[in-house]
Amino acid sequence: MRVAVFSTQSYDRESLKAASAGMPIEWAWFEPHLNSQTARLAEGALAVNCFVNDQLDANTLESLSGLGVALITLRCAGFNQVDLHTAARLGLPIVRVPEYSPHAVAEHTIGLILMLNRRLHKAYNRVRDGNFSLDGLLGFDLFGRTGAALSKFYLGWAVACWPTILDQIRRSPVAASNTCR
Let me know whether 6 and 91 are in one domain: yes
CATH number of the domain where residue 120 is located: 3.40.50.720
Let me know whether 81 and 166 are in one domain: no
What is the rounded CA–CA span in Å between residue 2 and residue 46?
Answer: 6
Let me know whether 50 and 80 are in one domain: yes
Let me know whether 107 and 146 are in one domain: yes
Q: Give me the tens of pLDDT residue by residue for the chain, a chain 181 residues long.
A: 999 999 999 999 999 999 999 999 999 999 999 999 999 999 999 999 999 999 999 999 999 999 999 999 999 988 999 999 999 999 999 999 887 777 888 888 888 888 888 888 899 999 999 999 989 888 888 777 777 767 666 667 677 776 666 665 555 555 445 544 4
> What range defines the domain where residue 7 resides?
2-95
* pTM, full prediction: 0.68
Let me know whether 115 and 156 are in one domain: yes
Total number of domains in the chain: 2
Let me know whether 79 and 112 are in one domain: no
